[in-house]
Amino acid sequence: MKIGTLPDGHAKDLGIEAGWTLSGIGYMDITQMPYAEADKLLQERVDKLPFAIPLTFKMNNGKSKTTYAYQQPLGLTFDHQLPIKITKEEEGHAKHLGIEIGWELLAVNYINLQSMTIFEEVSAIAHREVSKIPSK
């Protein structure tokens, strides 16, 4: 199985590159396995992964960081203005992920928010995408 084009997603975040060849799944050598069988095994393993969405922030030191949220509530508060900056952090999943007050939300689930200029649109996207993850 050779990796073709790589859209934005978790594989790209992990550093996987187009052109690489997948040679194993779950410590099982798939190099001699028929494609359909290897593809089925891959899908079975992927389906068992927990669902999460990436949240990309500009941290207080100016560097960006992507973290993966897999449960609600996040427990984050922000002012109703752009850019979205975390103003308060209550007990919740975000605290466990290490998200801090002052961090600026740059992207949610691979949707770049930086060029958007209307707070209501950005807020709606963020809420829609976060609502896809399960509640605790």
* Domain residue limits, the chain: 10-47, 53-130
**Any idea which of 12-21, 80-89, 96-105 has the lowest mean pLDDT?**
12-21
Instruction: With a cut of 80, say whether residue 136 has pLDDT above it.
Output: no
Buried/exposed 26-54: b ≥16 CB within 10 Å, e otherwise: eeeebeebeeeebeeeeeeeeeeeeebbb
Q: What is the pLDDT of residue 78?
A: 95
Question: Strand ranges (DSSP E) for 34-75?
Answer: 53-58, 64-69
pLDDT digits (tens, 9 = 90+) for 48-94: 887 899 999 999 999 999 999 999 999 999 999 999 999 998 888 99
Q: What is the pLDDT of residue 74?
A: 93
Instruction: With a cut of 80, say whether residue 46 has pLDDT above it.
Output: yes
What's the predicted TM-score (pTM) here?
0.75
Q: Is 43 left (phi over 0), alpha (psi -120 to 50) or beta?
A: alpha
Q: Which of 86, 91, 100 is nearest to 136 (CA)?
A: 91
Torsion of CA 88, 91, 95, 100, to 10 degrees: 10
**Any idea which of 7-11, 13-17, 64-68, 92-96 has the lowest mean pLDDT?**
7-11
Question: CA angle, 128 as apex, 76 and 9 as ends, to 5°?
Answer: 90
How far apart are alpha carbons 89 and 99 in whole angstroms?
A: 8
Instruction: With a cut of 80, say whether residue 129 has pLDDT above it.
Output: yes
Mean pLDDT of the chain: 92
Which fold does the domain 53-130 belong to in CATH? Pdz3 Domain (2.30.42)
Instruction: With a cut of 80, say whether residue 28 has pLDDT above it.
Output: yes
